[in-house]
Amino acid sequence: MPIFSGFFRYCLSVFSLLVLIIFPAIVLSASDYSNKDFSVRLPPAFLRFTEISAMGGETVANRFSSAINPASLGWTSLPSKNGIVVSPYYSFLNFQAGMQLNLFGESMTWDTGSWGAIQPTLSQIRSNNTTARDGMTFDYQVDVGQVQWGKRFGNYAFGADLNYARASIKREGSILRQIPGLPQMIPVDVDTENSADSYRLRLGGLYQPSAKWLLGMVLEYGYQPYHSKVTTQISSPFSPFPVSQTTEVNGSQQQYILRPGVSYEYAKGSTLFADYQLGIFHSDRDDLINHRFNIGIEHRLLEWLFVRFSPSVDLEGNVGVSFGLSAFLSKWCSIEVAYQYNMLPEIEHEFGQAQAIQCVLAFWF
């Protein structure tokens, strides 16, 4: 086991070094998914944005409560007197083209003991209504409610996550279009309103084959019915009055997530981890299959301080990195902060590369 763990750490070090060396070249040659419809590119980016980097790392094989695997919620008992943790959190996402997203979250965890741990969460996402690269404004609002449950049974743990979200997207602007019968492209005013409900069920499991190793997996199914209203207005050179047309469409989207992962605790509170995620996203307009790999390390620098580093890459050549730390300031309070770069390549075509800053406070009762 010591030989294998040393080899595993060596592979992680080599891979991380290669990522840092070739990172600029990979990003410049990577795909921005622009050949796919926006309807199937936004959901995978939304999932990654809402996964807060927390204690244990961005892995399904997490020994602590995480936003990825609901089974992790019940793996480690809460050390607080009443088994209750209240956690407000905030994420700020800044895109190269100027769009900004703010995520506010309110979460509470209750370790009931024999019934497992329960975690209700509310979160709100708001954009700054900026103009994207395609010349149209982007006003994005989402309200999310979810309940997670997790419980440990010896070397196994199981969990479930029910998630509901209500999203609205408003876009307006002028774009160039080719109109039949006209020799050149003319500007067309476009006003779109999209609303969608999202229903997601995520099931998670953990298995500990030995003291240092932990295997994890999640399965998710999501269903999103949506309504789209598009109004176009054309000012014709042959008529003093603009020509307006409104189209309304109802449709649905579906998504399937499979994510296995493994972690190894090489020292007390210090782990290495590796995950693979397969995402299948389908709408009435397009399909997207997404493969993503991430590895990482969380190291305990001090008794109360942990640091994390995790690079990730998809099969399109997009590389992202994440840095984070956890600090236990007292027996009743802890803080976690993280920085992420280029983690949302699916919507880079409209908004450019993204940088995110996350902060989580935890109050133990």
In a domain, 114, yes or no: yes
In a domain, 328, yes or no: no
In a domain, 316, yes or no: no
Using CA atoms, how far residue 30 sits from 19, 197, 296, 320, in Å, is 14, 32, 22, 11
Report the distance separating Cα 103 and Cα 89, nearest Å: 8
Task: Say what the pTM is.
Answer: 0.86
Contacts of 257 (CB under 8 A, 6+ apart): 47, 202, 218, 219, 220, 221, 222, 277, 278, 279, 280
Q: What domain count does the chain have?
A: 1
Per-residue pLDDT 10s for the chain (365 aa) are 444 445 445 444 545 554 544 444 444 456 778 899 988 998 998 888 888 777 888 999 999 887 799 999 999 888 777 889 999 999 999 999 888 999 999 999 999 989 999 999 999 999 988 888 877 888 999 999 999 999 999 999 999 999 999 999 888 887 766 666 656 666 778 888 889 999 999 999 999 999 999 999 999 999 999 888 888 777 665 556 677 778 888 989 999 999 999 999 999 999 999 999 999 999 988 999 999 999 999 999 999 999 999 999 998 889 899 999 999 998 899 999 999 999 999 999 889 999 999 999 999 99
In a domain, 6, yes or no: no
The candidate with the shortest Cα–Cα distance to 143, out of 118, 166, 120, 163, is 166
In a domain, 341, yes or no: no
In a domain, 327, yes or no: no
Which residue type sits at 249?
V
Domain that holds residue 194: 31-300+346-364
In a domain, 19, yes or no: no
Under 8 Å between Cβ of 329 and 337: no
